[in-house]
Amino acid sequence: MKLRSYMLIGFFLSLLLSIVPFSGNFTNAATPTTAAPVSAVSFTQGVQKTVLDNGLTVLTKEVHTAPVVSVQVWYKVGSRNEVKGENGISHQLEHLMFKGTTDRPVQFGRLFSALGSQFNAFTSYDQTAYFGTVQRDKLEALLTLEADRMENSLIGPDQLTSEKRVVISELQGYENSPGYRLSRAVMRDAFPNRAYGLPVGGTKADVEKFTVEQVRNYYQTYYSPENATLVITGDFATEPVLKVVKETYGKLAKRAKTAVAKNSAQVTAPTSAAKKAPIILKQPGSAALLQAVYPLPDIKHPDVPAIDVMDAILTGGRSSRLYQALVESGFASSVSGGAAELIEPGWYEINATAAPGQELGKIAQVLQESLAKLQQQPVTTEELNRAKTQLQASFILGNQDITSQASQLGYNQTVAGDYRFIEQYLAAIAKVTPAQVQQAAKTYLNPAKQTIGFFEPTQPDGKPGASSAGSGRTVENFSPGKPVDPAELAKYLPPATSATDSGKQSLPEEFTLNNGLRVLLLRDRNLPTINLSGQIDAGTEFDGNQKAGLANLTAANLMNGTQTKNALTLAKTLEDRGADLNFSTSREGVSVSGEGLSANLPILIQTLADVLENATFPADQLELSRQRALTSLKVQLDDPRGLGRQVFQQAIYPENHPFHSFPTAESLKSITRDDLLGFYQTHYRPDSTTIALVGDFDPLKVKLLLYQAFGKWSATGKPPFLKIPSVPLPQTLTRLNKVIPGKSEAVTYIGYNGISRKDPRYYAALVLNQILGGDTLSSRLGTEVRDRQGLTYGIYSAFATGINPGPFLIQMQTAPGDAQKAIASTLALLKQLREQGVTESEFNTAKRSITNSYPVDLANPSDVSSIILNNAVLGLSRSEIREFPQKIQAVTMAQMQQAIEDLIKPENLIIVTVGPGDTVTKGS
C-alpha cells in the first residue's frame, strides 16, 4: 500500500535527487470496531476557485499556521500525452523549464535558492508539476517567476544539448536498479499500445533524437494557461493575492492547440482469454524480484474506493494479508502494492522481493492463493475497518504541512478534474462494504488479465566485481568558469518585502523523569495529529566488526513481541488506530519515529514503552529478520550508491574505528539471540533515551501518561560510553574504483573526515557548503558540473555532522565515461575555492538562502519534532530552534575564510568511484 501524500500514484521522476514526493511504506492504520468517517470538508473549506479569462484555474487556500506559502503550477500533461518516438519529452521539458527565460536568462534554481525557496518539480503519467514553498514575503516573487516560465522559457540548442546529457544520466541511473528494469518490461507487456506502458522519464533512444523544434512545439501546445492549475496555500490574504495573480497571469495568452487526438483503441484495458506466461529477466543483480500488474478503471470510476480498501487489506502494514502470507511465512523479504488510478484506465501492481533461497514461482503461487481467497470469501469487519482507518488517517497525516495540502488540491483538480474530489472519495471509503471489496477482487484481480514478471539475478551472491586503485592522474584538466556573481543574479530577482521574524517560534518544554529519560514537549493545536521523534544511544558504533549488524537487528526485532503481545498483536494495536511506530539505526543512535491522530497518543506511548522495556526477541522472528537483513545487504552491495558509501567510509576510518564497521553476510549469520538480548539490556536504558513530542495534546496529561508508561523502567550503573578516536586526513590524494557488473551509471564519493555539530566552525561550514554544493542547481558544483557541462544528473556536498565528526563528502552520479571529467572539474573547483575564497556577494546570498528557507522547515510539525530532538541529542540549547537563523547571519567573512583554510583540502581527498567498470581512464 502506498501513501498518497498528494494522491500521486505511479512512477515519479523528480528533478532533484534529494526529493521523493511520495513514500511507499505509509502510515499503517485501522480501527478495532467501526471506522468513523474522516471529513475532507475541512480540508477543502476556504478553498476559493477562480478561473481567469485566459482559462487558468487558480485555487487559493489561506492557512495561517506558519509564516510560509506554497506556490504550485500543475500542467495537465505527462507521459500519457506522448506519441510514438517522443517518449520522455514531458520530462525533458520539465528539465528545460529551469534553464531560464528570455527576460531572465539564468538558471531558475539559482533564483529560487536566493529566495530561500524549498522547490522541486516532477513529471508523472498525467501531469507535470512545479512547486516552491517560501516565507510569505516571497510570495509575489515566486508568482512572478512561475508566470515568466509559463510563457517565455528558453528552449534553444545550448539548453537542450546540456540538459539531454543530464536526463540521460538520470535515466541511466534508474537502469542501475533491477526493480526499474523489471517494471519497465512488465508495463510494456501489460500496455503494449498505450503511453502508460512506457517509462515516464523516456528512453535514451528517444531522448537523444529530440530536436529544439519538437520540444518547443510541445511547450507551446501544453504549457498554456487553460491547461494549468495554479495553487497557492499558506499565510496570505486572498483578495490582494488574486489581484496580483490577475495582473501577472491574466496577460498570458491562450495558445493554439496542435495536440494530436488519441484514438480510443489506445485506452482500452488489455483483455486476454488465457493467462500469459511470466516475463523472465535474467540479468546481473542481487535479490530475486516479482511484479504483478492488473488493469484498473480510471480515477472517476465508482469502484475506486473499494479497490483502495482492497489494496489496504492486501498490503497495508504488517497485519495485511500479503505481508502475513509472504513475509511472515519466510517466502519474501518484502511485499508492497498500490493502485494507479489515473485520467485513463490505470493498473494495480504488487511487488515482492524473494527471501534468500526462495523460488519466485512459489511466491507467485502463494500470492495467487491469497488473491483467490479474497475473491471467494468476504473480508472480516475487523479487516475492513482497519483498511478504512488506514486510508483516512493517511489523508490527515499526509497533509500536515501546506506544501502537501497544495499538492493534494493540485492533484485532485488536474487528474480528477475537481479539487473537491477528496470529499466524495473519503465519504465513499467510509461506505465500502465487504461485498464490494470481494466484487472488486473478482473483477480486477483476474488471473487472465494479470501480467507478471520475474527478475532472476545472475550473480550468485550479489558480490561486487574487481576493484583497482588509480594513481590520481586525470587526462583532462578542466578549469572552471568564474563563479556566477550573485549581484548579476539579483537583477533577475523579483522584489520581495522584508524578511519574516523567526524569533516567534515557540520553544519546547523540557523535563527529565527520575530514571533519566529526557522529554521535550511542544503543543501545536493546528491539527489533530501527534508527531513523535526519539533517539536511543544504541547505534552501530557499538557493533564492532565481528558482530556488525547487531544494533540494526536489535532495533528491527523490537516490534516482534513483548511479554504480553506477539508481533501481530503489536502491529494491530497501532494499525487499528491509524498510528505508526518505526525504529531505524544510524551510527550514533536508534531513531524512533511515530505519528498518529492525537486521540491515539496513549496507544503510541504505551506501545513504545512496552517494546523499549519488555521486548522478548522471539527466535523465529529473529531468523526472518536475519533473512531480510541478508537480502538488504545483497541489494546494498549491488547498488553503486550503497557500495560506494561503504568503501568511502571504510577508506576514511581505520579498521579499529567504530565508524568502520559495516555488516557482512558472515557477521549477520554469527549473531545469536543472546547477542540481541545482551545488546538490548546494555544499551536500551531510560538514561540513554530522549523523546520529543509535537502535536495537539494537553501537556499535563502527557506528563502523567509518560510517568505511568516509563516510570518503572530502570537501569543500573552508568550508560555505556565510547570515546571515538580522532582521524587524521589522508597523507595524499587516494583513489579507489569498484566494479559492479551490469550497471549503467557510476557513482562517485569525494571527501575525508570532517567536523562535529558542536564544532565552533559549524555555522561557517554550512554557509561554505551552501556555496560549494548545497544545491545541485544553484551551487558552484551544480553550476559548473551539472548545468554548464551537463556531466551529472545530481551533484551535492555536505558536512555529515553528529555528536562526533562525520565525513565531509561530495556525491555525484555520472555516465561511466564522464566520471573522470566530472572528478577533474570538481577538483579544479575545490582548488579555486581554496586559492580565491568566495565573494562578498556569494557569501551574503548563501546566508540569506539558508535563513530564508528555515521557516519552511518550521512549518511542518513532523520536521519540528525532528529538529527539537536532534538539538537535544547533540547537546544544543532548547532555544537553538529559534536562534539558528541569527547564528547563520552572524558568520563573518573572516570565519568563512578560516573555514575554507581548515576544511577544504584538495590534496588530501579520498575519491571512490563505483560503476560498471569503464570509469577508470586508461593508463591512470
**Which pLDDT band holds residue 14 (cuts at 50, 70, 90)?**
very low
Pairing mode, if any, of strands 118-123 and 289-295? unpaired
Q: What residues does 212 pair with on adjacent strands? A: none
Contact 589, 539 (CB under 8 A): yes
| Higher-scoring residue by pLDDT: 824, 15 | 824
Can you tell me the mean pLDDT for 221-227?
A: 97
Averaged pLDDT score across all residues of the chain: 90
pLDDT of residue 474: 33
Q: Which three cell numbers stand for residue 876?
A: 544544543
Whether residue 89 has pLDDT greater than 90: yes
Can you tell me the mean pLDDT for 437-452?
A: 97
Alpha carbon 584 to chain centroid, angstroms: 16
Alpha carbon 775 to chain centroid, angstroms: 16
pTM confidence score: 0.92
Question: Mean pLDDT lowest for which of 24-33, 67-76, 257-266?
Answer: 24-33
Q: In Å, what is the CA distance from 309 to each residue of 461, 475, 694?
A: 38, 58, 30
Whether residue 13 has pLDDT greater than 50: no
pLDDT of residue 38: 54
Question: Mean pLDDT lowest for which of 302-311, 546-555, 773-782?
Answer: 773-782
Whether residue 22 has pLDDT greater than 90: no
pLDDT of residue 476: 38
Q: pLDDT tens, 365-380?
A: 999 999 999 999 999 9
**Secondary structure element (H or E) that encloses residue 846, with its range:** helix 840-858
Can you tell me the mean pLDDT for 65-90?
A: 96
pLDDT of residue 489: 76
Q: pLDDT tens, 201-214?
A: 999 999 999 999 99
Can you tell me the mean pLDDT for 307-320?
A: 97
| DSSP assignment letter at 153 | B
Contact 126, 78 (CB under 8 A): yes
**Secondary structure element (H or E) that encloses residue 188, with its range:** helix 178-190
Question: Mean pLDDT lowest for which of 264-268, 626-630, 666-670, 745-749?
Answer: 264-268
Whether residue 752 has pLDDT greater than 90: yes
Whether residue 500 has pLDDT greater than 70: no
- For the beta carbon of residue 7, count every other beta carbon within 10 angstroms: 21
**Which pLDDT band holds residue 263 (cuts at 50, 70, 90)?**
very low
For residue 469, is it left (φ>0), alpha (ψ between -120 and 50) or beta?
Answer: beta
| DSSP assignment letter at 208 | H
**Which pLDDT band holds residue 502 (cuts at 50, 70, 90)?**
low
**Which pLDDT band holds residue 870 (cuts at 50, 70, 90)?**
very high
**Which pLDDT band holds residue 19 (cuts at 50, 70, 90)?**
very low
CA distance 622 to 627: 9
Backbone angles phi, psi at 801, to 5 degrees: -100, 145
Q: Which three cell numbers stand for residue 736?
A: 579507489
Q: pLDDT tens, 405-442?
A: 999 999 999 999 999 999 999 999 999 999 999 999 99
Contact 764, 895 (CB under 8 A): yes
**Which pLDDT band holds residue 341 (cuts at 50, 70, 90)?**
very high
**Secondary structure element (H or E) that encloses residue 241, with its range:** helix 238-249
Contact 371, 441 (CB under 8 A): yes
pLDDT of residue 2: 54
CA distance 787 to 777: 7
What percentage of the chain reaches a pLDDT higher than 70?
Answer: 89
| DSSP assignment letter at 196 | G
Q: Which three cell numbers stand for residue 819?
A: 566520471
Contact 370, 335 (CB under 8 A): no
Q: pLDDT tens, 521-533?
A: 999 999 999 999 9
**Which pLDDT band holds residue 490 (cuts at 50, 70, 90)?**
confident
Contact 387, 316 (CB under 8 A): yes
pLDDT of residue 776: 86
> What is the 3 state secondary structure string of 598-618?
HHHHHHHHHHHHHHHHHECCC
Q: How far apart are the first and last CA of the chain?
A: 49
- Closest to 541 (Cα-Cα) out of 677, 649, 681: 649
Can you tell me the mean pLDDT for 719-725?
A: 93
At residue 807's C-alpha, the angle toward residues 806 and 811, to 5°, is 140
Q: What residues does 753 pair with on adjacent strands? A: 807
pLDDT of residue 614: 98
Give the start-end residues of each E strand in 564-652. 580-585, 590-597
- For the beta carbon of residue 564, count every other beta carbon within 10 angstroms: 10
pLDDT of residue 499: 55
